[in-house]
C-alpha cells in the first residue's frame, strides 16, 4: 500500500482496470494508522461520471450479506510458482481487512495478469466470481501513462477543500504564491542511493517521461541545498509573487531561503495534521517545484497537468 502518494497512484490504475473488465469498483479506504473512508477525503460523484463505484462501507453493509456472505469469502492474490499467498499477513493487510471485519474462507492464486484484461474476464466471469477481493491494487507503480488523465475525476471532499482554502486565505490572503516540495530526510537520502545508474526510479516518469533511456540526473532525487535555492529564487523572481509555501517532512530550509529571497517574501511552512493538506495547497500554487522521484510530488503534478498549471523539478528544470 505504501504512503498516500503510492496509494493514489495505485487507485488510478485500479480505477482504470475496473472499467476495462466492466466491474463495479468498491472504493477502498486509504490506509494511514487506520482506515480512512474514501469519501472522508474525496468526492464520490465525479468518479461516477467515469465508471460504476460504491463505497466499501456501503458495500459491506448493503451488498456483502447477499453477494459476499460470511463463509463464502474468497481472496485473490499472486503466488510464486507452486507456492501459496496470503491475504492477511502483517500490517497493513491484516489491519485493513480486520477493520472491515473480513476473514477469508478461501485463497485463490490468480492465474491471469491485470494487463491481459480479456483473459482476466474469461477466467473470472461475474456469474462465477461476483466479488473479486484482491490483495493489492490491480495497477502498476508509478501510475501508467494512459491513466494519468483520470486525475480529473479525483476531487477533494468539501471538508478537505474547505481546510485547504482556509489555510490559503489565512496564510496568503488569497494572493498568488509559489509552492515547493522538499524531500531531504535521511531515509530519502538512502533511497536515492539506489537511483544511481537508473533510467527510471519510483515516480521519475513524471518529469523524464515513460520512454527515458538516459540515466537519472545526479541532482534529481536528492537535490543539493544550492539547487533548491537556485531554482526557488528563479521561479519566485519570474512569477513576481510575494509568498512561498514549503511542504516537507524534514528540513524546511527556511533560513537559507530567507537569505536568498529577502525579507519581502513571506515564507511559510505549515506542517498540517494531514499531509494531504500540503498536497492541496501545492496544487493551487501559481507555480510548483517538486521532486521528480517522489509520488507525493506526483499527486500534485497530475492535478496541475490536467488543469494546465506550470510545474518545475529540482535537478531538471
> Which pLDDT score is estimated for 84?
79
Fold equal for 4-147 and 156-313? yes
> Which pLDDT score is estimated for 79?
84
pLDDT higher for 197 or 314?
314
CATH 3.40.50.11350 fits 156-313, yes or no: yes
φ, ψ of residue 103 to 5 degrees: the values are -120, 150
Per-domain boundaries in the chain: 4-147, 156-313
pLDDT class for 163, splitting at 50, 70, 90?
Answer: very high
> Which pLDDT score is estimated for 48?
98
pLDDT tens digits, one per residue of 31-47:
999 999 999 999 999 99
Q: Residues with Cβ < 8 Å from 253, sequence gap 6 or more?
A: 182, 184, 225, 228, 229, 246
* CATH classification code of 4-147: 3.40.50.11340
pLDDT tens digits, one per residue of 199-251:
999 999 999 999 988 899 989 999 999 999 999 999 999 999 999 999 998 99
> Which pLDDT score is estimated for 2?
60
| Residue-by-residue DSSP string for the chain | --SHHHHHHHHHHHHHHHHHTT--EEEPPEESSSEE-HHHHB-SHHHHTTS-EEEHHHIIIIIHHHHS-TT--EEEE---TT----SS-STTHHHHHHTTT---SEEEE--S-TT-HHHHHHHS-TTT-S--EESS-SS-SSPPGGGGGGGGG--B-HHHHHHHHHHHHHHHTT---EEEEE--SHHHHHHHHTTTT-S--TTTHHHH-TT--SPPPTTTSS--HHHHHHHHHHHHHHHT-SEEEEEESS---HHHHHHHH-TTSEEEE---SSHHHHHHHHHTSSEEEE-TT-HHHHHHHHHHHHTT--EEETTT-
pLDDT tens digits, one per residue of 262-309:
999 999 999 999 999 999 999 999 999 999 999 999 999 999 999 999
> Which pLDDT score is estimated for 176?
98
> Which pLDDT score is estimated for 196?
85
Rounded CA gap, 182 and 291, in Å?
A: 7
Q: What is the mean pLDDT of residues 186-199?
A: 92
Longest dimension (CA), the chain: 67
pLDDT class for 81, splitting at 50, 70, 90?
Answer: confident
Amino acid at each position: 500500500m505504501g504512503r498516500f502518494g503510492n496509494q493514489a497512484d495505485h487507485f488510478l490504475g485500479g480505477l482504470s482496470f475496473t472499467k476495462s473488465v466492466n466491474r463495479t469498483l468498491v472504493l477502498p479506504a486509504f490506509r494511514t494508522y487506520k482506515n480512512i473512508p474514501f469519501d472522508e477525503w474525496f468526492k464520490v460523484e465525479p468518479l461516477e461520471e467515469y465508471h460504476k463505484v460504491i463505497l466499501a462501507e456501503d458495500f459491506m453493509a448493503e451488498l456483502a450479506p447477499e453477494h459476499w456472505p460470511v463463509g463464502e469469502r474468497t481472496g485473490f492474490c499472486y503466488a510464486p510458482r507452486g507456492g501459496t499467498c496470503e491475504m492477511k499477513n502483517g500490517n497493513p493487510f491484516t489491519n485493513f481487512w480486520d477493520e472491515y471485519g473480513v476473514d477469508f474462507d478461501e485463497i485463490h492464486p490468480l492465474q491471469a495478469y491485470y494487463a491481459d484484461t480479456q483473459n482476466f474476464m474469461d477466467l473470472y466471469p461475474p456469474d462465477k466470481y461476483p466479488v473479486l477481493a484482491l490483495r493489492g491494487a490491480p495497477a502498476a507503480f508509478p501510475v501508467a501513462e494512459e491513466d494519468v488523465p483520470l486525475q480529473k475525476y479525483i476531487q477533494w471532499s468539501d471538508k478537505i477543500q474547505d481546510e485547504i482554502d482556509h489555510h490559503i486565505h489565512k496564510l496568503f490572503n488569497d494572493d498568488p504564491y509559489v509552492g515547493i516540495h522538499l524531500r531531504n530526510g535521511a531515509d530519502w537520502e538512502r533511497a536515492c542511493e539506489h537511483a544511481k545508474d537508473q533510467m527510471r526510479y519510483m515516480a521519475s516518469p513524471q518529469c523524464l517521461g515513460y520512454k527515458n533511456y538516459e540515466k537519472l540526473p545526479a541532482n534529481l532525487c536528492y537535490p543539493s541545498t544550492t539547487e533548491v535555492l537556485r531554482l526557488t529564487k528563479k521561479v519566485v523572481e519570474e512569477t513576481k509573487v510575494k509568498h512561498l509555501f514549503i511542504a516537507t517532512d524534514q528540513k524546511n530550509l527556511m533560513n537559507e531561503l530567507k537569505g536568498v529571497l529577502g525579507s519581502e517574501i513571506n515564507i511559510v511552512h505549515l506542517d498540517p495534521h494531514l499531509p494531504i493538506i500540503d498536497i492541496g495547497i501545492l496544487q493551487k500554487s501559481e507555480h510548483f517545484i517538486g521532486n521528480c522521484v517522489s509520488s507525493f510530488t506526483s499527486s500534485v503534478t497530475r492535478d496541475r497537468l490536467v488543469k494546465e498549471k506550470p510545474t518545475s523539478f529540482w535537478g531538471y528544470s
